[in-house]
A = this chain, B = another copy of it.
Amino acid sequence: MPEEASTALRVALAYHAAWTTKDLDLAFGYVADDIVCDAPAGRLEGRDAFRAFLAPFAQLLHSATLIAAFGDEDKALMMYDTSSALVASGPGAEFLTVAHGRITYSRFIFDRVPFAAARQAIP
- Interface positions of A (Cβ within 8 A of B): 40, 67-72, 75, 77-79, 91-93, 95, 107, 109-113, 116
In whole angstroms, how far apart are the Cα atoms of A109 and B91 in the complex? 7
In whole angstroms, how far apart are the Cα atoms of A1 and B93 in the complex? 21
Given the known interface contacts A71-B70, A93-B93, the answer about A109 and B107 at a Cβ–Cβ threshold of 8 Å is no
In whole angstroms, how far apart are the Cα atoms of A70 and B77 in the complex? 8
In whole angstroms, how far apart are the Cα atoms of A78 and B92 in the complex? 13
Q: Which chain B residues border A110 with CB–CB below 8 Å?
A: 109, 111
In whole angstroms, how far apart are the Cα atoms of A23 and B77 in the complex? 27
Candidates B77, B111, B112; contact of A68 at CB < 8 Å? B77
